């Protein structure tokens, strides 16, 4: 692929042909449990590879979710339990299916869907049913057959129990009218906000040719798939290669209520649900402003027919304030340029939550990845007067449990080529008593660099200003005399709170550490493994690294060790520099970085009934990649162009 891409960019070799296109197809044979994976050569129409996925389950799509809802509500046992609740006359029962987060209480050979019951009052379809979580949950085998109906716990000492032991009547003191967000039902909207319009009289500055996108000095290919959603490929700046592929690899949302069945609320929203198939149809003037280019996306139905997802990605420009400015105090003259950013954005809805994923490209050659979480809190029932230590009561009878959102950004660099290294740099104070160091005023500081030799994990360290630099040791910056590179500016976050011995930790290995570095491998794309639905773990980042270490140890007499297995006895404040075997070496190799970040969300009253967007930002910035400011040639800001007005 690399020779073809280089030829395609330069247009130097018209005879160059891309490698054969291969499609991955996963399916059930004759609606049985025989789950298979095939790789099809689209050029020849032949099967290149086939495997039976014994013990694995596919993701849940919207058709399966709808089938689970319908089957749950149609079940006579469920109907009888609902009747015993004695709900208000205008109540409409809603079912929310959840993928089953493995908790060790079931044989995972069969697909299990957890159905949580809610109600809404009245006939308005957008009434907030999360404001009325009911005390009932239903287990569904294969998503359509009821195998258990349970009463949910309320107070801290309560436990899940079968409905055969009795069902509590709905407490009508829980009825309230302050939990609606829809404009038809909620409070009157403020009228103080004047219209804000983005006008580009000459049109946008970007150009597109199918999935090829060019803007300023950036050039890239835009991709989209059912699982990862938005992906970016072959990213260059001013003709120089910087990244081969950027994508969100996985996200894990575990809930902190330890009472059954809530440990099952542990969603892999990409691996078990799919960012692509849950993408919104973005609306002009609402989700994106200005001159908009939309990219459509195609998936398929369960019968294999093409299914179009229109407006899955929006592309537009935004003003980002001042890019650079200086006023010469001697002359009084000021020079200022404004920052323009290219935005590629997609939005997904997974049940109650919305996630806004956006890549921001800047004129000074940086890439920012922004995640915003909004939507409605996933709620649980609680009796009036009860309290628990792992959630916030946001309305009468409504508990919003503590939870985490943990994302993994996959970064496949190509910094002036594919042979790259990872350097860890820290800022440290200069010694006071070292005769080799001149620090008479005790204020000096310097930097220390460590190049990582072997596949491993690392953590952030803000107190040392730890920076992760992706460098090309074969290319030297003529101004600084150092290797060219890009630095990862992480979003510093708390990592997974579940104990390392838990099933959560085994399933979401990536969530233990903020950064991982591995050798590139074609089949290593998803940080928690390819099949997360009801997984037990052992298929993710730490396991891949450990397997290569074990393989190297068994084939070599070397006694060297590695820190890559997720062992918590390692001092993660010290980067590993141990010697690497050839299979796990990451110095001057084709490497991949995986950055784990997120938010620990302990809900507040202000998050109800709909949550203001919570922002997270990761940056990739050039570091000694250029000889000077790459935005030096950006046009000076002029009133003639901006047409600002006095008020």
Cα angle value 349/614/214 (rounded, 5°)? 70
Which H or E run contains 283? none
Residue with tokens 């943990």: 406
Owner of token pair 């990649």: 625
Of the candidates 363, 244, 424, the one whose C-alpha atom is nearest the C-alpha of residue 626 is 363
Distance, CA of 249 to CA of 271 (rounded, Å) = 9
Phi, then psi, of 442 in degrees rounded to 5: 60, 30
Token pair recorded at residue 513: 């550490």
Cβ-count burial 105-138 (b if 16+ within 10 Å, e if not): ebebeebbbbbbbbbbbeeeeebbbbbbbbbbbb
For the record, the structure tokens of 637 come out as 């800001």
**Residue 173 DSSP SS3:** helix
Q: Which helix (H) or strand (E) holds 309?
A: strand 306-327
Pick the closest to residue 361 from 476, 483, 214 (CA basis).
214
627 strand-pairing partners = none
DSSP run (H or E) holding 80: helix 76-85
Given a contact cutoff of 8 angstroms between Cβ atoms, the answer to whether 395 and 401 are in contact is no
Compute the distance between CA of residue 420 and CA of residue 469 in angstroms, rounded to an integer.
Answer: 10
Pair 630, 238: CB distance under 8 Å = yes
How far apart CA 424 and CA 466 sit, in angstroms, is 7
As a whole number of angstroms, the distance between CA 47 and CA 40 comes to 4
Tokens describing residue 535: 């997984």
Inter-CA distances, 107 with 110, 116, 122, 186, 211, Å: 7, 21, 40, 44, 44
Instruction: Please report which helix (H) or strand (E) contains residue 74, including its range.
Output: helix 62-74
Question: From CA 634, how far away is CA 606, in angstroms rounded?
Answer: 41
Active site positions, annotated? 269, 353
Contact predicate 212/293, CB 8 Å: no
Q: What does the alpha-carbon distance between residue 625 and residue 479 come to, in Å, rounded to a whole number? A: 10
Backbone angles phi, psi at 200, to 5 degrees: -125, 90
Dist CA 116 CA 380 (whole Å) = 9
Residues 355, 368: Cα–Cα separation, whole Å: 16
């Amino acid at each position: 692929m690399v020779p073809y891409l280089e030829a395609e960019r330069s247009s130097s070799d018209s005879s160059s042909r891309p490698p054969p296109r291969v499609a991955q197809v996963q399916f059930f044979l004759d609606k049985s449990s025989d789950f298979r994976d095939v790789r099809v050569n689209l050029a020849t129409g032949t099967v290149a590879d086939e495997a039976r996925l014994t013990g694995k389950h596919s993701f849940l799509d919207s058709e399966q979710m709808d089938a689970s809802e319908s089957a749950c509500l149609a079940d006579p046992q469920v109907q009888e339990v609902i009747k015993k609740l004695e709900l208000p006359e205008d109540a409409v029962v809603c079912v929310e299916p959840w993928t089953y987060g493995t908790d060790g209480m079931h044989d995972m050979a069969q697909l299990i869907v957890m159905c949580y019951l809610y109600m809404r009052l009245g006939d308005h379809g957008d009434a907030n049913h999360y404001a009325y979580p009911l005390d009932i949950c239903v287990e569904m085998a294969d998503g359509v057959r009821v195998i258990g109906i349970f009463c949910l716990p309320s107070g801290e000492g309560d436990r899940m129990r079968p409905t055969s032991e009795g069902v509590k009547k709905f407490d009508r003191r829980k009825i309230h009218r302050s939990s609606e967000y829809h404009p038809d039902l909620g409070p009157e909207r403020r009228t103080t906000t004047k219209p804000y319009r983005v006008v580009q009289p000459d049109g946008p500055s970007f150009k597109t040719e199918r999935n090829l996108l060019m803007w300023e000095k950036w050039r890239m290919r835009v991709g989209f798939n059912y699982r990862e959603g938005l992906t970016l490929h072959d990213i260059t700046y001013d003709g120089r290669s910087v990244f081969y592929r950027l994508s969100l690899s996985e996200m894990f949302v575990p809930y902190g209520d330890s009472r059954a069945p809530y440990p099952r609320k542990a969603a892999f929203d990409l691996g078990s649900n799919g960012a692509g198939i849950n993408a919104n149809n973005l609306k002009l003037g609402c989700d994106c402003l200005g001159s908009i280019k939309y990219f459509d996306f195609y998936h398929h139905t369960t019968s294999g027919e093409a299914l179009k997802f229109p407006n899955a990605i929006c592309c537009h420009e935004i003003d980002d304030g001042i890019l650079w400015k200086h006023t010469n105090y001697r002359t009084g003259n000021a020079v200022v340029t404004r920052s323009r950013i290219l935005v590629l954005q997609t939005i997904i809805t997974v049940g109650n939550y919305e996630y806004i994923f956006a890549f921001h490209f800047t004129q000074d050659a940086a890439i920012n990845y922004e995640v915003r979480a909004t939507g409605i809190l996933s709620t649980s029932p609680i009796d009036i007067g009860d309290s628990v230590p792992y959630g916030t009561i946001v309305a009468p009878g409504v508990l919003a449990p503590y939870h985490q959102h943990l994302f993994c950004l996959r970064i496949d660099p190509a910094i002036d080529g594919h042979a790259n290294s990872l350097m860890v740099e820290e800022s440290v104070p200069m010694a006071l008593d070292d005769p080799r160091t001149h620090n008479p005023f005790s204020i000096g500081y310097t930097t220390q660099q460590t190049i990582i030799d072997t596949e491993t994990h690392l953590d952030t360290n803000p107190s040392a200003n730890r920076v992760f630099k992706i460098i090309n040791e074969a290319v030297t910056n003529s101004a600084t005399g150092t290797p060219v590179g890009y630095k990862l500016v992480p979003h510093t976050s708390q990592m997974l709170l579940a104990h390392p011995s838990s099933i959560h930790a085994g399933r979401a290995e990536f969530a233990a550490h903020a950064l991982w570095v591995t050798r590139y491998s074609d089949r290593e794309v998803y940080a928690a493994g390819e099949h997360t639905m009801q997984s037990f773990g052992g298929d993710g980042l730490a396991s891949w690294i450990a397997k290569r270490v074990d393989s190297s140890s068994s084939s070599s007499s070397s006694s060297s060790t590695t820190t890559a297995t997720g062992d918590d006895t390692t001092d993660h404040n010290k980067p590993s520099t141990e010697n690497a075997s050839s299979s796990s070496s990451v110095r001057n190799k084709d490497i991949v970085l995986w950055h784990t970040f997120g938010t620990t969300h302990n809900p507040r009253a202000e998050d109800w009934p709909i949550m203001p967007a919570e922002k997270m930002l990761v940056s990739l910035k050039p570091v000694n990649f250029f000889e000077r400011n790459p935005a030096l040639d950006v046009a000076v800001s002029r009133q003639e162009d901006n047409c600002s007005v006095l008020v």
